[in-house]
Amino acid sequence: MKAAIIGGGVIGGGWAARFLLNGWDVALFDPDPQSERKIGEVLANARRSLPALYDRPLPAEGRLCSCGTLEEAVDGADWVQESVPERLDLKRRVLGAIRAATPDHAVIGSSTSGFKPSELNAEGGRAIVAHPFNPVYLLPLVELVGPGAEAAAPILRGIGMFPLVLRKEIDAHIADRLLEAVWRESLWLVTDGVATTEEIDEAIRMGFGLRWAQMGLFETYRVAGGEAGMKHFMAQFGPALSWPWTRLMDVPDFTDDLVDLIADQSDAQSGHIGIRDLERLRDDNLVGILRALRHSGSGAGGVILSHEAALPHPEGQAPTVTVIRQVPQSWTDYNGHMNEARYLEAASQATDRFMEMIGAGADYVASGRSYFSVESHIRHLEEVRAGDRIRITTRVLSGTGKKLHVFNSLYRDDGTLAATVETLMLHMDLEARRACPPEPEVAARLARFAEAHATLPRPEGAGRFVGERPD
Which of these three, 173, 190, 217, is where a domain ends? 173
Task: Name the more confident of 250 and 171.
Answer: 171
Same-domain pairing of 24 and 157: yes
pLDDT, tens only, 394-429: 999 999 999 999 999 999 999 999 999 999 999 999
Same domain, 37 and 156: yes
**For residues 15 and 5, what is the distance between their CA atoms, to the nearest angstrom?**
7
Among the ranges given (44-53, 207-216, 244-253), the one the predictor scored with the smallest mean pLDDT: 244-253
Q: Does an H or E element contain 208, and which?
A: none
pLDDT of residue 239: 77
> Does the residue 278 lie in any domain?
no
Same domain, 151 and 232: no
Instruction: State the number of CA atoms in the 13 A half-sphere of 220 facing the CB.
Output: 12
Do 60 and 202 have their domain in common?
A: no
Question: Which residues contact residue 256 at a Cβ distance below 8 angstroms, ignoring those fewer than 6 apart?
Answer: none
Provide the pLDDT for residue 464: 85
Confidence band for 244, pLDDT divided at 50, 70 and 90: confident
Q: Which pLDDT band, with edges at 50, 70 and 90, does 114 fall under?
A: very high
**Together in a domain, 73 and 155:** yes
Domain of residue 210: give its range.
176-272
Q: Check whether 247 has a pLDDT greater than 70.
A: yes
Q: Is 467 domain-assigned?
A: no
Q: Taking the CA of residue 13 as centre, how many other CA atoms within 13 Å lie in the half-sphere pointing to its CB?
A: 20
pLDDT digits (tens, 9 = 90+) for 278-291: 898 889 889 989 99
Does residue 294 fall inside a structural domain?
Answer: no
- 107 part of a folded domain: yes
pTM of the model: 0.86
- Tell me: do 50 and 88 sit in the same domain: yes
Mean pLDDT of the residues in the chain: 92
- The 3-class secondary structure across 237-255, one letter per residue, is HHHHHHCCCCCCCCCCCCC
Count structural domains, the chain. Answer: 3
In a domain, 280, yes or no: no
Between 113-122, 212-221, 383-392, the lowest mean confidence (pLDDT) is in 212-221
Residue 317 has a pLDDT of 64
CATH code of residue 413: 3.10.129.10
| Residue 288 is assigned to a structural domain of this protein | no
The CATH number assigned to the domain holding 150 equals 3.40.50.720
Residues 6+ apart with CB under 8 A from 225: 231, 232, 233, 234, 236
Instruction: Tell me if residue 32 falls in helix, strand or coil.
Output: coil
Residue type, 392: I
Does 316 have pLDDT greater than 80? no
Residue pair 218/230 in contact by the 8 Å Cβ criterion: yes
Q: How many residues does the chain have?
A: 471
Rounded Cα–Cα distance for residues 73 and 98 (Å): 10
Q: The CATH number of the domain where 186 resides is what? A: 1.10.1040.10
Mean pLDDT of the region 288-315: 89
Please tell me whether residue 157 adopts helix, strand or coil conformation.
helix
462 within a domain of the structure (yes/no): no
CA distance 78 to 124: 20
242 domain-assigned: yes
The residues, ordered by sequence, that sit 6+ positions from 68 with a Cβ below 8 Å of its Cβ are: 29
